[in-house]
Amino acid sequence: MAGIGAIFRDSKGEVIMSAAKKEVSVMTAVEVEALAILRGLQFCILLGIQNLVIESDSLLVVKEFNMQGSSQATFGNVVRDAKELMTRFGTCQVQHVIRSCNSTTHSLAKFGLSVQNISLWWGAYPDVISNILWSDSSTL
């Protein structure tokens, strides 16, 4: 079992939506990270978002997404599906961020283990990450 967390922000850094989801398949950390990107893309399509920047602290996953051609990674099927979805956007970039810049989504992913299936917060976020978000916004 794994938890996935996602924070959707606008160009000013304001939270549009946050989500926590439980995935029932046992996976490695890089597989979960790739799956989180796939799930985020699915949400963005539903929301009608046309341009996005995806941030991940997994350099291996970012390299797989930015690589030309087919992925040979064990999670290559997830990368393939996500890349196919990425073509539906006007612009879609996958960028690497250091882990300390991704602490909000890690906390949300841990929280995802406790949800039944999925929890969504529109224009908001759960209390479990409010201190981290406040800390992040004070460094901007």
pTM tops 0.85: no
- The CATH number of whichever domain residue 131 belongs to comes to 3.30.420.10
Query: The dihedral of CA 19, 92, 26, 109: what is its sign?
Result: negative
Counting as low any pLDDT under 70, the low residues of the chain are 26, 100-101, 131-140
Distance between CA atoms of residues 16 and 24, nearest Å: 26
- pLDDT tens-digit series, residues 53-94: 999 989 999 999 999 988 888 889 999 999 999 999 999 999
Range of the domain at 123: 2-138
- For 112, residues 6+ apart whose C-beta sits below 8 A from its C-beta are 2, 3, 4, 5, 20, 21, 22, 119
Number of domains in the chain: 1
